[in-house]
Amino acid sequence: MKVTVQQIDQAAKRLEGVVEKTPLQFNKRLSQEYGAKIYLKREDLQEVRSFKIRGAYNKIVTLTPDERKRGVVAASAGNHAQGVALSCSLLKMHGVIFMPAITPNQKIDRVKHFGDGYITIKLVGQTYDEASKAAHAYCAEHGAIYVHPFDDPLTIAGQGTIGKEILEQTDQPIDVVVAAIGGGGLISGVSSYLHETGITIYGVEPTGAPAMYEALQKGKLVNLQTIDTFADGVAVQQVGATTLAVCQKYVKEVHLVPEGKICTTMIELYQNEGIITEPAGALSVAALDGFAKQIKGKTVVCVISGGNNDILRYPEIMERSLVYQGRKHYLILEFTQKPGQLKQFLNEALGPRDDIVRFEYMKKTNKEKGAALVGIELKEKNDLEPLLKRMKAIELKFKILTSDELLYEYLI
């Protein structure tokens, strides 16, 4: 189903006084790094800290009086839920929101806050898709109205108001817009508004949840059997039929970004600009490396889609970032069970800039050898090879753990 510029203009009128017209900020650091003019569209500065209020309110405010009495139902990993919650509170109507059980507590608490007594939360399943199934079942049983987070023309039109604002906020021509993709509502709305302007649209997904990428490759909807839910705001197993059709027409390319790269970008945005993003919110900036040649000398807008990040997640974010940069490694070391083995490793193998951040060893009775799990943080990625050479020189047997191994999942 097509979403028109006229529908998006109508949505913008409905959203006046409800959503923030978020800043379009020039970023000097990124501009110098990529030899381009990089702007950030700061949707993390919405009251609900994401763009989702746009689509949710645009959908709900158009309901008939009878439909409002029946109440609304939504499924969300957090940001859409907050948009629906605030919309229900503003319109003084009841809503039920189904969220995956793994949703960060920070997002659950914010949904309760914005709902202001008008929202009931139900935690179901491990993914958005499982929560969505439960939400649809609830709708069928109670006759409530389902507010889809992405595959609805009214939702898409609401998100499309971001594209309208981008054009209104700068006098210079824009060459490229980069936006994250979960179910595809954001990029479908933005590209529906901008496609006739000649602006190139790039989409971004995490490598662990490439639902749109796979759908575009195969030319049809694809249901991913397993996904990495780290970037929970975009972790869906299947995109929408409407959003897929829009992306097929208007999106030039979908780029995949490793979760570790997302974490590194989150840290850089915080340390350099003081911008707090969630994993999905940093996707557009994290993807710039993949478009570096295409954007050189051009004007680029990256949509910072959300900033709902639980502070308790930062240790994991730091860990994933270091691993991605090649600065943190986990090894199994096989020590001979005699005095001096650990001392030899410390004195002759470990480099002056290498730091042991984890060490677990249990001496085995009546055995000649014992294994130790060792986590090592390096100052630079290139410090790994000299470390391995020194361990070989003292004839220390070792194995580097990789992400394919079961034990690794418990370390990261």
- Report the catalytic residues: 52, 305
Q: How far is CA 87 from CA 11, 20, 61, in A?
A: 14, 14, 8
Return the exposure string of 66-80: e unless at least 16 CB atoms fall within 10 Å of the residue's CB, then b.
eebebbbbbbbbbbb
**Contact between residue 217 and residue 205 where contact means Cβ atoms under 8 Å apart:** no
Q: Give the DSSP H/E element, type plus range, for residue 20.
A: none
For helices 153-168 and 5-15, give the axis angle rounded to 10 degrees. Answer: 80
In 3-state terms, what secondary structure has residue 276? coil
Q: Give the DSSP H/E element, type plus range, for residue 330.
A: strand 328-336
- Beta partners for residue 39, in sequence order: 26, 301
Q: What is the CA radius of gyration of the chain?
A: 24
**Contact between residue 72 and residue 42 where contact means Cβ atoms under 8 Å apart:** no
Q: Tally helices (H) and strands (E) across the chain.
A: 18, 14
Distance CA 306, CA 278 (A): 6
Tokens representing 253 are 């390319």
**Contact between residue 230 and residue 208 where contact means Cβ atoms under 8 Å apart:** yes
Tokens representing 274 are 């003081």
Distance CA 57, CA 47 (A): 13
Residue 172: CB atoms within 10 A of its CB come to: 8
Bridging pattern class, strands 24-26 and 37-42: antiparallel
Tokens representing 48 are 């609900």
**What are residue 236's phi and psi, to 5 degrees?**
-120, 150
Tell me the torsion sign for CA atoms 117, 119, 122, 123.
negative
